[in-house]
Structure 1
Amino acid sequence: MSQPPPRVPWYYHLLAAPLLALAHLPLGVLYGLARVVYWLLAYGVRYRQRVVLDNLRHAFPEKSEAEIRLIGRRFYWHFAQVLVEIIKLAAISPVELSRRLRFTNPGVLLRPLEERRLVLVLGSHLGNWEWILARAGALFPGWVAGVYKVLSNKFFEWFMRRLRTRLGPEAVPMQSTLRYLVQHRDTGHTVSLLLDQAAGPADRPYWTEFLHRDAGFYSSADRLAPQFDAIVLYVGIRRERRGYYAVTFAELPGGPLPGLAPTVSEALRHPATEAFVRHLEADIRATPEQYLWTHRRWKHNRRFN
């Protein structure tokens, strides 16, 4: 099971108080605050603007500089909205969240859970990824966990863990993933993995072309799915209008076939990850402003033997 909430210094609660106060404001008011955040990020501090524009230019070489900068501005507005929506997780009710985030085909996830199968849900930093986990935890109580990277800042590690688990899902540190899966084998659980984080050389990444550049992806789904007889799903999300999202699941290959010859391509050795990348590319092209372009996704280089 996931680790229990850690004991924290008393002043963490004081630091969290302003954020919790904001969370109790109506979303309409928070979106007004998001306007201020947008102007600060895009025109004030110009938060990672160089990274954002460089990522967009590589991802969409067919677009003009004016189009790239327009997507960039739209991204900052989307990002500002996501930031206040994440804060809202500290107070939003399950009923309100269910109105604002809908699963278009929940049966794809529910059926294997009812069969007590393990489900690996492969997600990304698209749309509002934090709301997906919270909504799934509220809809399928006791069946949902999200794997995450522990934050170096201890206060924000505690605060984000509190937000992520408030409506029911468990939060599993990345280094505890295998232990969690072993403990929940054959119990009907879904474990969410964000695969679009930049996997380093030590992470045994699967390298493939992603938005016109080589990118290394965590390949854990292809290793874990056969080991645990798990169903593998892609989760896509799209903002339909301000504060409202639609989430759709798609079944992916469950890992490589046994006994593959050494000469078989890397794509056949990593079918789940490769399929995930292609789904993600299609979703990004459909709504490019809704991807997290501030992320240094391509900071590692492929190493050839």
Structure 2
Amino acid sequence: MQFLVFALTYPIIWLLSLLPMRVLYMISDFFYFLFYYIIGYRKEVVLENLKLAFPEKELSELKSIRKKFFRHFTDIFVESIKAFTISKKEISKRYVYKNPELINDLHKRGKSIAFVGAHQANWEWSISIPLFVDIQCFGAYTRIGNKYFDKTVKDSRMKFGFIGYKTTETIKSMAKNFDNNVQGLYLLLSDQSPQVHKTHYWSEFMGVKVPIHTGAEMLAKKFDMAVVNYSIKKIKRGYFEVTFETITETPRDFEDYKVTDKYLAITERNIHAQPEYYLWSHKRFKHRDKVPKEWQ
């Protein structure tokens, strides 16, 4: 059954990925109209998130941001499809890294890197990072139930040089590399909501007290890695710029959660700059009413 589902659907996805971006954006426009005006997919979730994040804004402005978000949201959908077959030449033209020398300098000085970012603009095309830096790049992946899709998606995300490891084996994989003196850049998206029972830290994100992922900071301290944030700016439809920013080269010098706080501040700054391009469709603030007394 798994193979049948794969055989029936993947050829369609692959053929779509071969289409020029201008055609894919026409498809995106259709899905935007469908999701926003007909289905109303998560419109209330997005508006509620925006109300919590921007209490100072008028309802009319929040609805305008919501509308722009959904236009961007369906673009991300087709851009993710394009990632299956996008060439090095095209992704290099559309996804520009402004200062890769920052990464390469850390590599020359013997540092491994905890590479943190957020679901802002287009994070899917960050698969191209290995094309522009000298250090080996590693990324965790969560297995897909369909083993055929799992292999295909994994191969697609690693076609430009990423080396994958299972999310459940993150620490084990890092430890093996450090034991063998292998420097690495480890991609860690850290802005989504963790499970409450696994939460060690609560803090304000966009003015709302929520549980915070601290795994990147924990790993950086454990393996003495530099912590570098990557910020993605959408220039225009289909074109992005990525800027690297060092949070710290010495994470062990910081009190617990201070590195995480610096990451959150950068993420908030980027959201305020382009609020319509953040992933508002997920329930980032769903645990705001469950704050333990010690974190209130």
The answer, yes or no, to whether TM exceeds 0.5 is: yes
Indicate the residue corresponding to 1:269 in structure 2. Answer: 256
What amino acid does structure 2 have at the position aligned with 1:304?
K
Q: Are 1:17 and 2:11 matched, yes or no?
A: yes
SS in 2 for 1:137: helix
* Per-residue deviation, 1:225: 1.4
Question: Which of 101, 111, 122 is equivalent to 1:128?
Answer: 122
What count of residue pairs does the alignment treat as equivalent? 288
What amino acid does structure 1 have at the position aligned with 2:172?
R
* Per-residue deviation, 1:153: 6.3
Question: Which of 203, 221, 227 is equivalent to 1:226?
Answer: 221
Indicate the residue corresponding to 1:262 in structure 2. Answer: none
What amino acid does structure 2 have at the position aligned with 1:162?
D
What is the Cα-based RMSD across aligned positions, in Å? 2.0
Q: Are 1:53 and 2:42 matched, yes or no?
A: no
Aligned counterparts of 1:10 and 1:91: Cα–Cα separation in 2: 22
* Per-residue deviation, 1:212: 1.5
Q: Are 1:99 and 2:90 matched, yes or no?
A: no
Contact 1:255 1:271 in 2 (8 A): no
Aligned counterparts of 2:233 and 2:182: Cα–Cα separation in 1: 30
Deviates more, 1:36-45 or 1:168-177: 168-177
Deviates more, 1:54-63 or 1:292-301: 292-301
Question: Which of 71, 75, 80 is equivalent to 2:69?
Answer: 75
* Per-residue deviation, 1:137: 2.6
What amino acid does structure 1 have at the position aligned with 2:251?
G
Indicate the residue corresponding to 2:153 in structure 1. Answer: 160
Question: Which of 59, 65, 83 is equivalent to 2:59?
Answer: 65
Aligned counterparts of 2:48 and 2:200: Cα–Cα separation in 1: 23
* Per-residue deviation, 1:269: 1.4
SS in 1 for 2:57: coil
Contact 1:115 1:188 in 2 (8 A): no
Indicate the residue corresponding to 2:189 in structure 1. Answer: 194
Aligned counterparts of 2:206 and 2:146: Cα–Cα separation in 1: 31
SS in 2 for 1:184: helix
Q: For residues 192-250 of structure 1, give each alpha carbon's deviation from its aligned partner in whole angstroms, at most 9, with x where no partner exists.
A: 11101111223234211111211212111222212212010111001101111000111
* Per-residue deviation, 1:171: 2.8
SS in 2 for 1:232: strand
Aligned counterparts of 1:283 and 1:28: Cα–Cα separation in 2: 27
* Per-residue deviation, 1:109: 1.2
Aligned counterparts of 2:51 and 2:145: Cα–Cα separation in 1: 31
Indicate the residue corresponding to 2:292 in structure 1. Answer: 303
Indicate the residue corresponding to 2:271 in structure 1. Answer: 284
Deviates more, 1:87-96 or 1:221-230: 221-230
Aligned counterparts of 2:90 and 2:25: Cα–Cα separation in 1: 16
SS in 2 for 1:9: helix
Stretches of structure 2 lacking an aligned partner (at least 5 in a row): none
Aligned counterparts of 2:144 and 2:100: Cα–Cα separation in 1: 31
Indicate the residue corresponding to 2:203 in structure 1. Answer: 208
Aligned counterparts of 2:99 and 2:37: Cα–Cα separation in 1: 39
Aligned counterparts of 1:148 and 1:111: Cα–Cα separation in 2: 27
Question: Which of 120, 134, 139 is equivalent to 1:146?
Answer: 139
- Structure showing the higher helix proportion among its residues: 2
Contact 2:18 2:85 in 1 (8 A): yes
Question: Which of 87, 95, 113 is equivalent to 1:119?
Answer: 113
SS in 1 for 2:3: coil
Question: Which of 211, 214, 217 is equivalent to 2:212?
Answer: 217
Contact 1:144 1:190 in 2 (8 A): yes
Q: For residues 94-118 of structure 1, give each alpha carbon's deviation from its aligned partner in whole angstroms, at most 9, with x where no partner exists.
A: 1110111111111111122233421
What amino acid does structure 2 have at the position aligned with 1:137?
P
Aligned counterparts of 1:124 and 1:151: Cα–Cα separation in 2: 22
Question: Identical aligned pairs, as a percentage?
Answer: 30
Contact 2:205 2:268 in 1 (8 A): yes
What amino acid does structure 1 have at the position aligned with 2:82?
K
